[in-house]
Amino acid sequence: MFVYEKKLQYPVRIKNCNPKLAAVIISQYGGPYFVNLLLNSCNKSIISCKKHRSTVYSRKNPAQEILRRVNFMPLYHCNINACKVYSALRCINEYNIHNSFIQENRACKAVSLSGFFVRISKKYNSHRNTQRKNAITVRLYDNCLFLEEILYKMPSLQEAFLCAMVEMCSCIPFA
Amino acid sequence: MNSDNGNFRPCGDACGTMPSCAPLSVPYVPFQQEGSQKYDQTNALANGTLFPGLNLPFHLKVDAGSFPDNQSTQLQALLFVVTELGMYLDTHKDDAEAFQLFRQYAQLAKEGKRRYEEMHGPLTQLSAGQDAAYRWLDDPWPWDFHQEGGAD
């Protein structure tokens, strides 16, 4: 249903390394858990569609219109945000990290999904003034690699999510 | 890319119509009129909307000229117009002029994708099947930063 394309909807241009900015952008994903990310963006989209119902009220099946918008928008935005995070952290290479080390971690998939956004930003904040800063930043970078992997797989997650949404949306009243 | 196709347009370009009769206690937003003015593709991408009438003044001013002029951005601009026109047509399916424009841009985007894939490798895993070797895993990925260009 949804197909991953090796491109962004909008150019990402972050020129300077900025792990703090990366942490802020990560907070834009919408929640502490990855599932919340999907739920939140869908909820927001439903609310905005309800507000704009005069643009869809004449359609034969407004639920379809809502579902379509709910499912496209978060994907675009998540992909762009993830690339911003990644761009803001790309200078980590200069922190004397072995390229092979990063490659190894790129392949490592054994990271728990739950709580992962909160965990990395909290750890980064609490330790940012300590000597462990570099180590924490590397962890953030690793997680971003992992994040990209999730986004790559997200279309199929969204598809599964859609089925649940159909049930929910069928009971939304329309004027 | 202005348009004046003789549609009856009671309001200015930045305004829309409202239903004459509507259920009580339900808020409405104005309905965009047919034949609205449109940006060209580069300005549409830079402004985040195809329609000047929907470009509200609380955004940060973006300079369209500051985009890197490369194939990637050009393709992004074309596909953005297709997305925008598609969303417009979803609510204005009888706007023949917009549909004509949609057809033109869809054709341009298709051609643009083909040329992009020749230069930079497959955009989708499906199109990776047309190459002699499996190039889907080749860099760069969208998140690989290139100087001045984002993903190039």
Inter-chain residue contact B151 with A65, CB threshold 8 Å: no
Q: How do residues B40-52 score in pLDDT, each as one tens digit?
A: 998 888 888 899 8
Nearest CB neighbour to A10, from listed B23, B30, B76: B76
How many Cα atoms are found within 13 Å in the side-chain-facing hemisphere of B118? Answer: 7
Inter-chain residue contact A6 with B45, CB threshold 8 Å: no
Coil, strand or helix at A52: coil
Q: Could you report the predicted ipTM of this complex, rounded to two decimals?
A: 0.74
Q: Smallest Cα–Cα separation from A25: which of A67, A68, A79?
A: A79
Q: At residue A60, does pLDDT exceed 80?
A: no
Structure tokens at B38: 């449109």
Q: How do residues B81-97 score in pLDDT, each as one tens digit?
A: 998 998 888 788 889 99
Q: At residue B39, does pLDDT exceed 70?
A: yes
Q: Which of A124-133, B24-33, B100-109 has the lowest mean pLDDT?
A: A124-133
Q: Please tell me the distance from the alpha carbon of residue B2 to that of residue B18, in angstroms, as a whole number.
A: 24
Cα of first residue to Cα of last residue in chain B, in angstroms, is 28
Q: Is A149 on the interface with B (CB under 8 A)?
A: no
Inter-chain residue contact A7 with B76, CB threshold 8 Å: yes
Q: What is the per-residue pLDDT for B38?
A: 92
Q: What is the per-residue pLDDT for A87?
A: 64
Q: Three-state SS string across B37-104, please?
A: CCCCHHHHHHHCCCCHHHCCCCCCCCCHHHCCCCHHHHHHHHHHHHHHHHHHHHHCCCCHHHHHHHHH
The mean pLDDT value for A153-165 works out to 52
Q: How do residues B94-144 score in pLDDT, each as one tens digit?
A: 899 999 999 999 999 999 999 999 998 999 888 989 888 988 878 777 766
Q: A120: exposed, middle or buried (C-beta count within 10 Å: 0-12, 13-18, 19+)?
A: buried
Q: Which band of pLDDT confidence, cut at 50, 70 and 90, is reported for residue A157?
A: low
**Mean pLDDT over the full length of chain A:** 50
